[in-house]
Structure formats: structure tokens, C-alpha cells
Amino acid sequence: MPPEAMPVEATPLEATSAVLPAESRPGVSKPNPILTARGLVRSFGAFKAVDIQNLEIQQGVITALIGPNGAGKTTFFNLATGFDDTSEGSCWFQDQRITGLHNYQIARLGAVRTFQNTRALTRLTVMENMLFASQQQFGERLHRVYGAKWRRKEQKEKERARELLDRFALTHMADEFAGTLSGGQRKLLEMARALMAEPTMVLLDEPLAGVNPALGETILEHILALKAGGTTVLFIEHDMSAVRKVSDWVICLAEGRVIAEGTHGEVGQNQLVLDAYLGSTRGGMSDDE
């Protein structure tokens, strides 16, 4: 499916039935929050990389997290998914306090993140990358390894993995080592693999970074498809045009704080946001980390 043939035109608000918040101010409460942060601080010495009073991520919609380089976006992801230690405050996922839980426990609750730098498990095949991500592997428990049952159960998982690989145009690579994939294919595999875990929410750290425009469009389509399938998406992105195409809601972070929230139209015209981008030391609205 050549991405150029299917330009993403959907205005997200038409595609979603979710009711967005009436107000657009930082920290505004939302109808159906899935992820909540209160007084969340991560300090490195005297420097606060994240300092969020109040933030709610709404269930069932696509939220973009924008902000200049070093704004604390990745650090916020790390705090929310247990990959970094919170200095103050807490996060809740579906009404459960997750601050203090291990990262793998948070993932098991249904919040699965990806990383800014693509991470393929290179010496596993593409299919193994997929199967390993599943949470339903009967034979993943040591005491069941020598039973016969897991082989039967694994067939179902393989079926699911094949469907996903098909969706991400990776079927022909299923039996190759993931290390042989191109950079773009690795990005796709990473998304497909996250979906294999059947998350209720995915947190994608710069899914569009370093991919060519055609693949970028494809990835945006996949993000829209995720929402259609009922998965909540929070993704980090700089490029406002990409954000505009898919996001229902935009949150802008600068120097660790939420400085603006709203639809992409509102945030795109917010003077604080424009200043933050212009004032950021590295300038511009792009990021090459």
C-alpha cells in the first residue's frame, strides 16, 4: 500500500466520538482520564526536568505531546511508565496509583511505551519479536516449558502476530532477523510489537523522528487506526503539521511545565508555545536527538 496513494485527510474530531474538554487551559480536567499526573516532579540536582502541577490524558483520543528540545517530554514518559524515579508527586493509570510500581508492572496494566531511539531485538526474528511481546504466552512460565500445551496456545498468538505483521507490511520479513530490517521497518516493527501486548494505551516517543515523509504518513495512519481500535494514544512529536493531521488534543511542555493545552488550532496559535519554540536554545520546531 503506497502511502502517497492514501493521504491522511481525516480531521480527527470527526473520527472520534469522545467529548473533548470545554476549556483549553493547562491542567484542565477531562471527561474520561486514563493517565493522570499530580504535582509530578523529576529533579536532577536543582534542575527540574519535569514539574507538572496537573495533567490528564483522555481515554480513547490521540494526544500529542509537543515542546522544544529538552522540555522534559521523554522524562515525563519515563516517569509515567516507571522507567525513571519520581522525585515528587504521583501518576495514576485508570484510577490506580502507578508511581512506585515497577516499569514492567505498569506495562502489564496496559500502558506500553516505545523509545525515542528505535530498539529492535536484532538477533531475534521479526516473528519472535512479535511473539515475545505477547502477554498471553502460556509457555513463558518456566514450569510449563516441558508441557505440550503451550505449543497449541502459541498457534493463536502466531495468528495474531501474522495479522499485525500484515497490517504493518512486514509479513515478508517474518522469519528474518530483526537486525536485517531497515530503519523504517524497525520503526514499524516497534509499533507492531507494542500492539502485540494489547495495550489500552500506547505512549510513542517520537514515532516520526528520522523517517522519510512517506513512511511518516504511513505511521500517522497507523496511529489513527489505533484510535479506531479503541487504544488511547499519547505521542511525542515536534512537527506541528504532523500533529495537526492526527491529534485530537495537544499538550505543550516547556522547561518541564505544561504551558498550553488545547486543540492543535488553539495550541498552534498560543503565544507561549510560539515563544517556547523560538526561545529554545537549539531553535526551530525540529529535533534530531
Partner 1 sequence: MDWIGITVAALRASVGPVAVAYALAGLGLNLQFGYAGLWNYGHVVAVAAGAYGAAIPLEAGATLMVGVLCGVAAALVVSLFLGVAALRLRLDYLAIATIAFGEIFRQVVRSNWAEPVTGGVFGIQQFARDFFDLNPISEGRYGWGDFSFDHRSLWLMIVGWTLIVIGVLAMYMLVHSPWGRTVRAIREDEQVARSLGKNVFFVRLQSFMIGSVFGAFAGVLLAFANNVNPDFYSLILTFWVYTALLIGGIGRVLGPVVGAVVFWFLFQWFDGFMQSSIAEGWYGNLLQTTDAGPFRFMLLGLILVLLVVLRPQGFFGDKDEALLDAS
Ligand X SMILES: Nc1ncnc2c1ncn2[C@@H]1O[C@H](COP(=O)(O)OP(=O)(O)O)[C@@H](O)[C@H]1O
Is 34 a residue that touches partner 1 (CB under 8 A)? no
Is 156 a residue that touches partner 1 (CB under 8 A)? no
**Nearer Cβ to partner 1, position 133 or 276?**
133
- DSSP codes of every residue in 219-238: HHHHHHHHHHTT-EEEEE--
Q: Which stretch binds partner 1 (CB under 8 A): 139-147, 158-166, 250-258, 275-283?
A: 139-147
Alpha-carbon distance of 187 to 251, in angstroms, equals 24
Alpha-carbon distance of 222 to 228, in angstroms, equals 10
**Nearer Cβ to ligand X, position 21 or 70?**
70
> ∠ CA 16-9-113 to the nearest 5 degrees?
60
- Per partner kind, with CB cut-offs from 5 to 8 A, the member of partner 1, Mg ion, ligand X, none near residue 129 is partner 1
Q: What are the angstrom distances between the C-alpha of 23 and each of 11, 18, 19, 35, 235?
A: 20, 15, 12, 18, 21
Handedness of CA 62, 128, 289, 40 (dihedral sign): positive
Alpha-carbon distance of 103 to 266, in angstroms, equals 34
Please report how close the Cβ of residue 73 comes to Mg ion at its closest, in angstroms.
Answer: 5
CA dihedral 11, 67, 103, 115 (to 10 degrees): 80
Please report how close the Cβ of residue 90 comes to ligand X at its closest, in angstroms.
Answer: 19
Q: Which of 16, 59, 86, 114 binds partner 1 (CB under 8 A)?
A: 114
Is 179 a residue that touches partner 1 (CB under 8 A)? yes
**Nearer Cβ to partner 1, position 97 or 151?**
151
**Nearer Cβ to partner 1, position 169 or 197?**
197
Residues 35-74 that bind Mg ion (CB under 5 A): 74
Q: Which stretch binds ligand X (CB under 6 A): 71-79, 107-115, 186-194, 212-220?
A: 71-79
Q: Which of 177, 184, 200, 274 binds partner 1 (CB under 8 A)?
A: 177
Is 119 a residue that touches partner 1 (CB under 8 A)? yes
> ∠ CA 76-193-201 to the nearest 5 degrees?
45
- Using DSSP's 3-state secondary structure scheme, residue 122 falls into coil
- Using DSSP's 3-state secondary structure scheme, residue 123 falls into coil
Is 58 a residue that touches ligand X (CB under 6 A)? no
Q: Which of 59, 64, 73, 191 binds ligand X (CB under 6 A)?
A: 73
Q: Which stretch binds ligand X (CB under 6 A): 65-73, 118-126, 172-180, 221-229?
A: 65-73
- The pair phi, psi for residue 241, each rounded to 5°, is -70, -35
**Nearer Cβ to ligand X, position 70 or 184?**
70
Q: Which residues bind ligand X (CB under 6 A)?
A: 44, 49, 67, 69-75
